[in-house]
A and B are shown apart, each in its own frame.
Chain A
Amino acid sequence: MTILLFGITKDIIGSDTLAISDATLNGTGKIQTVRELKTHLIKMYPDLKSLSTLAVAVNNSYAKDDKIINNFDEIALIPPVSGG
């Protein structure tokens, strides 16, 4: 699974994309939903926890926390930005 990173998530994770292996997705604590993915990412990158408003897109559509995800999906983490 590929995760595209935008805004501050890029700075927190230190890259503009993040790959999650099938083994992680299917292993113990299997990641099936957007909510579970968020929990997994926060465990790996604790600074993500401070983002109270973070949009997640699955295959270019906005996804709620209960959205089911699978290995082939392209995910995007989209925090709001405020600069003008």
Chain B
Amino acid sequence: MQNNRYERQTRLKEFGPEAQEKLSKASVLVVGAGGLGIPILLYLNAMGVGTLGIIESDTVEITNLQRQVLYTEKDLGRPKLEVVSERLQAQNSQTSFKLFDTFLTRDNALEIISEFDVVIDGSDNFPTRYLINDACVLLKKPFVSGAIQGFEGQLSVFNYNNGPTYRCLFPSIPSPEEIPNCNENGVLGVVPGIIGNLQALEAVKVITGIGAPLSGTLLLFDGLQNRYQKINFSLQPENLNIKTLQSSYGGQYCDLGTTKSVEELQLLLEKGKGIQLIDVRTEAEFEEFSLPTAFNIPLNELETRMAEIDFKKPIYLICQSGIRSEKALLRLQEENKEAILYNVLGGVNKFLSSCL
């Protein structure tokens, strides 16, 4: 079986056994095992990439299932990393896996990324996207970027052979209020499947040298019209001139000074000192499950309910996965510069999977 496992692709004369050999020696890091990460991982693993790294720290939620097609109803509540690694090992026992049960942060990014030849960005937030760009530029690694919103997707290969970077298109990180993420804005289930598969294809091209990787070109996909449009862009040399990572990427995953892990939170709760824990999820989410001592101010009511918050005491913010609480944190920071604020990393999801 082993000898002809990849026969359907090695018989392609543009690919051949040489490209297969390159795949088997390649190491690829996939950031995020969500809507984009899953098709990327399934295909690269099927096609015979030798080493796959996976960074993921979330658990499977019911709202993931419409697009994250590897997970089943039986997996609800389980760590995604565990489920993914089981499935991928069953799919291809020859692959070597490196699993990272963490978020990518400015403190671990360089160390983790340096172990791999190619990075694929399947993350769901801007801080991580800019962090991946800067780390890959510093380490001179190509990365395949895909992102989705609603019915649309974007795809490009950045930092490939001294080609343009993410910052050559989008120089600076948008503020959290500017652009919605897909938790809030919605995404049609099949769209990440399309973009993720295209990312897998680009990664194979980068690794094997076949075809022309999408470097210096941004592919825009509009699912409603089924329209694909390519935009050319060029390197702005100053963007290669990164000497070090930024001290903060303004987001929950990177700005460790203002975050608490769920384990730290649990210790605080156990001490029973009655910390000020504000849950910014909706009322319905709060009713379904809430942490002891938490009180509920939904994010969209924050403006009008500031008076309920005691800014003299430390404020701990929590939501389902950590994105809304990050927004709340930034807003409260604006409201009171002296406030001591903590965002609970990974939110209720992480708490339920790690602490119960």
Interface residues of A (CB under 8 A from B): 4, 6-8, 16, 50-53, 55, 57, 60-62, 76, 78-84
Q: How far is the CA of A26 from the CA of B66 in the complex (A)?
A: 49
Is the CB of B284 closer than 8 A to any CB of chain A?
no
Q: Are B124 and A79 in contact (CB under 8 A)?
A: no
A5: shortest Cβ distance to chain B, in Å?
A: 10
14 more CB-based (< 8 A) A-B contacts, given A82-B147, A82-B181, A82-B182: A6-B222, A16-B224, A52-B172, A53-B173, A60-B232, A62-B218, A62-B231, A78-B154, A78-B169, A79-B179, A81-B152, A83-B148, A84-B147, A84-B192
On chain A, the residues within 8 Å of B154 by CB distance are 78, 80-81
In chain B, residues 168-183, which have Cβ atoms closer than 8 Å to a Cβ of chain A? 168-175, 177-182
Asked whether B36 lies within 8 Å of A61 as measured between CB atoms, the reply is no
Interface size class of B (residues with CB under 8 A): 35 or more
Residues 44-88 of B, flagged 1 when their CB comes within 8 A of A and 0 if not, give: 000000000000000000000000000000000000000000000
When the two chains form their complex, are residues B234 and A81 in contact, meaning their CB atoms are under 8 A apart? no
**In the assembled complex, which residues on chain A have CB atoms less than 8 Å from the CB atom of B181?**
82-83
Contact status A51-B178, CB under 8 Å? yes
Known: A7-B149, A60-B231. A83 touches B182 (CB 8 A): yes
In the complex, what residue of chain B is closest to A64 when comparing beta carbons? Answer: B236
A82 to B185, CA, bound (A): 11
Give 1 or 0 for each of B32-49: 1 = CB within 8 Å of chain A CB.
101111000000000000
Across the A-B interface, give the 8 residue pairs with the lowest CB-CB distance, nearest first.
Answer: A83-B182, A62-B233, A84-B124, A81-B149, A80-B170, A83-B148, A57-B231, A81-B147
Which residues does chain A contribute within 8 Å of B169, judged by CB atoms? 55, 62, 78, 80
Tell me, in angstroms, the Cα distance from A8 to B185 when the chains sit together: 10
Contact between A52 and B178 (Cβ–Cβ < 8 Å)?
A: yes
Given contacts A52-B175, A82-B149, A84-B148, contact A8 B180 (CB under 8 A): yes
State in angstroms the CA–CA spacing of A80 and B121 once bound together.
14
Q: Flag whether B229 is at the interface (Cβ < 8 A).
A: yes
Asked if B6 lies at the interface with its beta carbon under 8 angstroms from chain A, I say no
Q: Give the chain B neighbours of A53 by CB distance below 8 A.
A: 170-174, 178
Q: Residue among A50, A62, A84 with the most chain B CB within 10 A?
A: A84
- Asked if B125 and A82 sit within 8 Å, CB to CB, the answer is yes
CB distance from A71 to the nearest CB of B (A): 21
**Which chain B residue shows the least CB distance to A52?**
B174
The reply to whether the CB of B297 lies closer than 8 angstroms to some CB of chain A is no
**Smallest CB separation, B225 vs chain A (Å):** 8
CB contact under 8 A between A84 and B173, given known A8-B179, A62-B233, A78-B231: no
Q: Flag B314-347 by CB within 8 Å of A: 1 or 0 each.
A: 0000000000000000000000000000000000
Pairwise interchain contact A82-B126, C-beta atoms closer than 8 A: yes
CB distance from A67 to the nearest CB of B (A): 12
- A14 CB to closest chain B CB (Å) equals 14
Q: With both chains docked as a complex, state the minimum distance between the C-beta of B131 and any C-beta of chain A, in angstroms.
A: 12
The reply to whether the CB of B27 lies closer than 8 angstroms to some CB of chain A is: no
- Report yes or no: A7 in contact with B170, Cβ–Cβ below 8 A: no
Q: What's the least CB distance linking A79 to chain B, in Å?
A: 6
A62 CB contacts on chain B under 8 angstroms: 168-169, 218, 231-234
Is B165 close to A, CB under 8 A? Answer: no
